[in-house]
């Protein structure tokens, strides 16, 4: 028995009993000779017989007893993939390695994301495995360098295929002219020698052995490792056409159809069309990932920082947290930070999608990669390198583009089995036409579609072989394989342009099917902090030294001012809201001479010789203050879910200790009331209206009491309210809706929303929310603008429309072309598709899919369209009004 020893990294061990458990689980496996666990090192060392037990079983045994195997991830840049079957080959090559747990290949990005157990497999082994099945592999580098390398590789491929094309097309045209020189007016134009078979052979040979060589080499590499790909289809097609032509030229009586069946032009044009397809694909495929390139290009190169009191310019990568960074007008903000001094307007559209520049002053946050417009400012770096918002966005978008949507599973399955299926079909077609079809249907006067070339002397073998080769060449899994990933790449990129980050392709697919959206209330629909919404003065209250009375604005302002004076030293959220409200109105707020908080009731204070009492009904009742005059107003605002505080003032002028005031000041008079409530965010109402217009059911979930919740729901236009829901029950409410068969999205920002975000089909986290919410959500809305929920849904729907269109065209192409190529129409029309036309159609199908995806570049969400229209109108109006003013 030959044994093997491996070390597995184990996560989750806390004590000696964990060691015993894991050792027991491993030792119980048949084939494990010895298992020892090192608690401190977090490692399990296993000696086993590989013939009886494998790594997957060892891993399973550890996970079954409640521990995890530590894994790492690496992304490889894979070159040379052309179709979906390549994806399967690379994935199989990687997952075939011991220690690789998962490998996801993205054809569009040409990457393979590998999750592996460190120590069991190395990146070098992964690269070797990929190379052995005929593809190139390098460890993917990050950021701008990756962009440069990828661009360079793509340019190289475009140049290479372009050069091949420049050679093959004119030569293939000559071969075609020579082949058909007996037709139409060609005898007068084309010299006779060009029609000689050996001349055609001489012209075709360098095409097949030169530019066509790549297909033979690649298919041989694949076959050596037991994999079949598109190259094999091409190689079989070109090889068969060229081989028959050579045989019929050198040995015309060999029985392969003689001189009438020298398909040199087929071999030449077939090669040319395939190369044309490769060239077009190389040209267009890079453009579907343009969004990520745009984001990468945003990464700033240099930063101006203050070090040792001197202003120096350093690479943006070298900026450290807490560095003081200077930004002048027209310069890019190099990293994320907090403005210390200065004032400016910053264009954040590239990160948040916000079309108007955002004002920045001391205390405001700035985002790396954004563009400073007008002023200069100084800021302190808070996040640098891979921690910046831009770097995180790039990472998320890349992750989403590398993931697979559920809809892709079908496409992958089809494409993965396609090549084999096509070869089986080619055998069936050959056998059918050889034994049955030729005798029943063959007509010597029949011809190729769109060709004057008659089949004439072609024998049973030549005819059957021709149709068999055509089936191989006309079939195209490329289109099927590209349909979903190319659209997903375009969609995730487009969403990122508008400030919406999808974390996976699955999130896009789910977002396109949503039926119900649940919004968390506090912090999501509302600002999450109370503010003063109403101030009412008692009708009889007159300000000293003033003629203002009752409901006049000056009097209302006084109510707010006295309330703010009383609350100035308060730490209660309602008190802070009142102080903020007074400051916002520019009211002076002097400090009170004395202050006393009365928990659960309100506050009392003294200022300018007067006692101030601010609080709820209970406080007023206890102090004997009559509030009947303002009760109707109080009840009216309370119906809207607002909190009411009454304000009473005394007319005392003597200094009385506040504790005594309570007992002695019988002359406290009600002067007004203030209502405080959590207010809606700027675009909440519009977002809900738009969601309703999209036909979605909108609900609100909150822990607040029903009255408050319904009041907010009424303001925002939501008809379904899930009130008094404890944080831990929010996920249950989502589950209940899902149980009704609904696809549910949850929009939230808080830690308490995380379970519901995870439970929902699409969890949308607000970018300004907690890290927990952002990590749990499937979608991140960079801005606080709730209209981006609509943007996310619109982009998702547009992407899935594109996916379905692409899959439709890809399947329709194959469903129609394969039977035609197999000769299904021959018995009726006596026409067959020539291999070169088959190659042309095949090339066109995958290019069509890519071009259809590129149409996504023009997609603009409805909100942005309307914004642009509004801005265009404003721009038109601005010069007109300026001109009018001058007259």
Partner 1 sequence: MGGLERKVALLSAVSYTGISLTVALAFLVTATLVGTYTDVARFGGAAWVFLLSMIVTMPLVTSRFKKRYRA
Which residue ranges make up the site for partner 1 (CB under 8 A)? 50, 54, 92, 96, 223, 225-228, 232, 236, 240, 254-256, 420, 423-424, 426-427, 430-431, 434-435, 439, 459-461, 464-465, 468
- ∠ CA 117-123-126 to the nearest 5 degrees? 95
Q: What is the number of other CB atoms lying within 10 angstroms of the CB of residue 777?
A: 29
Strands 697-701 and 516-520: parallel
Q: What is the closest distance, in whole angstroms, from the C-beta atom of residue 465 to partner 1 in the complex? A: 6
Rounded CA-CA distance 743/755 in Å is: 16
Q: Which is nearer to partner 1, 11 or 427 (CB)?
A: 427
Cβ closer to partner 1: 255 or 609? 255
Tokens describing residue 254: 């060999």
Query: Smallest gap, in angstroms, from Cβ of residue 355 to partner 1?
Result: 53
Nearest residue (CB) to partner 1, 216 versus 562:
216
The least CB distance from residue 145 to partner 1, in Å, is 36
Tokens of 245: 């032509």
Do residues 230 and 82 lie in contact, with contact meaning Cβ atoms separated by under 8 Å?
yes
Parallel, antiparallel or unpaired: strands 516-520 and 744-748: parallel
User: What does the DSSP 8-state code read for residue 641?
Assistant: T
CA dist 288 and 107 (Å) reads 12
> Is the Cβ of residue 168 or residue 468 nearer to partner 1 in the bound state?
468
Work out how close the CB of 253 gets to partner 1 at its nearest, in angstroms, rounded to a whole number: 10
Residue in this structure with the two tokens 């020892």, named with its chain if needed: 36
Cβ atoms of 623 and 615 within 8 Å: the answer is no
Least spacing, CB of residue 428 vs partner 1, in Å: 10
Which is nearer to partner 1, 270 or 426 (by Cβ)?
A: 426
Nearest approach, Cβ of 240 to partner 1 (angstroms)? 8
Cβ(380)–Cβ(368) under 8 Å?
no
Cα gap 636→291, rounded to integer Å: 52
Residue 226 beta carbon to partner 1: minimum distance, rounded to whole angstroms: 3
**Hey, is 808 helix, strand or coil?**
helix
DSSP string, 122-155: -HHHHHHHHHHTT-EEEEPPPHHHHHHHHHHHHH
Least distance from C-beta 300 to partner 1, angstroms?
49
Counting every residue, how long is the chain?
A: 887
Q: Is 344 helix (H, G, I), strand (E, B) or coil?
A: strand
CB of 276 to partner 1, least distance (A): 25
Q: At closest approach, how far in Å is the CB of 423 from partner 1?
A: 5
Q: What token pair was written down for 86?
A: 């390549």
Question: In the complex with partner 1, which residue's Cβ is closer, 457 or 686?
Answer: 457
Give whichever of 49 and 331 is closer to partner 1, judged by the CB atom.
49
d(CA 270, CA 476): 14
Is residue 520 annotated as a catalytic residue, yes or no? Answer: yes
Catalytic one of 323, 520, 538, 761: 520
DSSP character at residue 333: P
Residues ≥6 apart with Cβ < 8 Å to 555:
537, 541, 542, 543, 548, 549, 672
Task: Pick between residue 106 and residue 231 the one whose CB is nearest to partner 1.
Answer: 231
Dist CA 554 CA 663 (whole Å): 31
CB-CB contact of 168 with 275 (8 Å): yes
Q: Which residue bears the tokens 């592996």? A: 116
- Sequence-distant (6+) residues with CB within 8 A of 740 are none
Tell me whether residue 240 or residue 810 sits nearer to partner 1 (CB atom).
240
Q: Which is nearer to partner 1, 227 or 647 (CB)?
A: 227
Q: Return the number of the residue (132 or 640) whose C-beta is nearest partner 1.
A: 132
**Minimal distance, residue 420 CB to partner 1, in Å:** 6
Q: Which is nearer to partner 1, 61 or 367 (CB)?
A: 61
CB of 61 to partner 1, least distance (A): 15
Give me the phi and psi of 379, to 5 degrees please: -140, 160
CB of 49 to partner 1, least distance (A): 12
Residues 6+ apart with CB under 8 A from 136: 78, 79, 80, 130
Comparison of 437 and 499: residue with beta carbon closer to partner 1: 437
Task: Show Cβ contacts of residue 526 under 8 Å, excluding neighbours closer than 6 positions.
Answer: 678, 679, 680, 681, 684, 712
Instruction: Note whether 103 and 54 are within 8 A (CB).
Output: no
**3-class secondary structure, 313:** strand
3-state helix, strand, coil in the chain (%, to 5): 55, 20, 25
Q: What is the DSSP letter of 856?
A: G
Q: What are phi and psi of 454, to 5 degrees?
A: -90, 150
Q: How many CB atoms within 10 Å of residue 75?
A: 20
Under 8 Å between Cβ of 219 and 452: no
What contacts 40, CB < 8 A, 6 or more positions away? none
Q: Which residue's entry shows tokens 């590789």?
A: 153
What amino acid positions are annotated as catalytic residues? Answer: 520
């Amino acid at each position: 028995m030959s044994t093997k020893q491996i070390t597995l990294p184990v996560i989750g061990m806390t004590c000696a009993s964990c060691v015993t458990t894991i050792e027991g689980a491993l030792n119980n496996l048949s084939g494990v000779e010895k298992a020892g666990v090192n608690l401190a090192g977090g490692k399990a060392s296993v000696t086993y017989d590989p013939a009886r037990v494998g790594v997957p079983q060892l891993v399973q045994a550890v996970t079954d007893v409640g521990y995890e195997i530590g894994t790492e991830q690496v992304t490889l840049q894979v070159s040379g993939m052309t179709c979906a079957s390549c994806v399967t080959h690379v994935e199989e090559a990687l997952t075939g390695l011991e220690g690789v747990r998962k490998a996801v290949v993205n054809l569009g990005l040409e990457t393979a994301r590998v999750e592996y157990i460190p120590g069991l497999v190395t990146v070098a082994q992964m690269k070797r495995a990929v190379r052995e099945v005929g593809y190139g592999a390098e460890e993917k580098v990050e950021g701008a360098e990756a962009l440069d390398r990828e661009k360079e590789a793509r340019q190289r491929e475009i140049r290479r295929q372009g050069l091949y094309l420049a050679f093959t097309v004119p030569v293939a045209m000559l071969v075609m002219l020579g082949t058909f020189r007996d037709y139409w007016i060609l005898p007068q134009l084309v010299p006779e020698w060009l029609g000689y078979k050996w001349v055609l052979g001489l012209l075709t040979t360098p095409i097949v052995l030169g530019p066509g060589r790549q297909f033979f080499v690649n298919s041989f590499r694949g076959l050596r490792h037991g994999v079949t790909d598109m190259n094999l289809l091409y190689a079989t097609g070109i090889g068969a056409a060229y081989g028959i032509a050579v045989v019929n030229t050198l040995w015309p009586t060999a029985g392969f159809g003689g001189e009438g069946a020298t398909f040199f032009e087929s071999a030449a044009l077939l090669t040319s069309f395939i190369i044309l397809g490769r060239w077009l694909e190389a040209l267009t495929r890079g453009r579907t990932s343009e969004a990520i390139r745009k984001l990468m290009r945003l990464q700033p190169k240099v930063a101006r920082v203050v070090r040792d009191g001197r202003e120096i310019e350093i690479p943006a990568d070298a900026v450290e947290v807490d560095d003081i960074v200077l930004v002048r007008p027209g310069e890019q903000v190099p990293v994320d930070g907090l403005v210390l001094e200065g004032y400016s307007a910053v264009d954040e559209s590239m990160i948040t999608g916000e079309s108007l520049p955002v004002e920045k002053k001391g205390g405001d946050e700035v985002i790396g990669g954004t563009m400073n417009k007008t002023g200069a400012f100084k800021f302190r770096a808070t996040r640098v390198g891979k921690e910046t918002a831009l770097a995180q966005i790039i990472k998320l978008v890349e992750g989403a583009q590398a993931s697979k949507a559920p809809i892709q599973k079908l496409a992958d399955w089809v494409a993965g089995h396609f090549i084999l299926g096509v070869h089986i079909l080619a055998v069936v077609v050959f056998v059918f036409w050889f034994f049955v079809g030729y005798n029943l249907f063959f007509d010597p006067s029949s011809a190729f579609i769109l060709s004057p070339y008659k089949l004439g002397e072609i024998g049973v073998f030549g005819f059957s072989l021709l149709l068999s080769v055509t089936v191989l060449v006309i079939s195209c899994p490329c289109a099927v394989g590209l349909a979903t990933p190319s659209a997903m790449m375009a969609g995730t990129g487009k969403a990122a342009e508008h400030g919406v980050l999808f974390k996976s392709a699955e999130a896009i697919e789910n977002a396109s099917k949503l039926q119900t959206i649940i919004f968390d209330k506090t912090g999501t629909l509302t600002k999450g902090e109370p503010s003063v919404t109403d101030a009412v003065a008692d009708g009889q209250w007159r300000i000293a030294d003033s003629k203002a009375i009752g409901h006049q604005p000056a009097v209302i302002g006084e109510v707010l001012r006295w309330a703010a004076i009383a609350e100035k030293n308060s730490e209660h959220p309602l008190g802070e809201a009142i102080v903020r409200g007074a400051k916002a109105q520019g009211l002076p707020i002097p400090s009170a001479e004395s202050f006393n908080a009365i928990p659960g009731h309100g506050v009392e204070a003294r200022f300018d010789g007067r006692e101030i009492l601010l609080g709820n009904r209970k406080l007023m009742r206890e102090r004997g203050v009559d509030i009947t005059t303002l009760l109707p107003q109080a009840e009216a605002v309370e119906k809207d879910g607002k909190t009411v505080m009454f304000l009473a003032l005394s007319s005392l002028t003597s200094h009385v200790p506040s504790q005594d005031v309570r007992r002695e000041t019988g002359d406290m008079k009600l002067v007004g009331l203030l209502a405080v409530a959590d207010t809606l965010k700027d675009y909440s109402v519009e977002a809900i209206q738009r969601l309703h217009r999209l036909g979605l059911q909108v609900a609100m979930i909150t822990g607040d009491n029903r009255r408050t919740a319904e009041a907010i729901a009424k303001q925002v236009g939501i008809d379904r309210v899930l009130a008094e829901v404890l944080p831990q029950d929010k996920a249950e409410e989502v589950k209940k809706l899902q149980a009704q068969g609904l696809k549910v999205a949850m929009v939230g920002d808080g830690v308490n929303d995380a379970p519901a975000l995870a439970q929902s089909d699409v969890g949308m986290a607000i970018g300004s929310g907690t890290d927990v919410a952002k990590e749990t959500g499937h979608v991140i809305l960079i801005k606080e603008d709730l209209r981006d929920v609509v943007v996310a849904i619109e982009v998702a729907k547009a992407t899935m429309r594109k996916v379905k269109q692409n899959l439709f065209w890809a399947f329709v192409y194959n469903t129609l072309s394969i039977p035609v190529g197999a000769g299904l129409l021959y018995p009726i029309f006596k026409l067959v598709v020539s291999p070169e036309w088959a190659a042309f159609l095949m090339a066109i199908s995958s290019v069509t899919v890519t071009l259809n995806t590129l149409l996504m570049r023009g997609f603009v969400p409805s909100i942005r369209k309307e914004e642009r229209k509004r801005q265009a109108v404003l721009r038109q109006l601005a010069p007109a009004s300026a001109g009018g003013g001058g007259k």
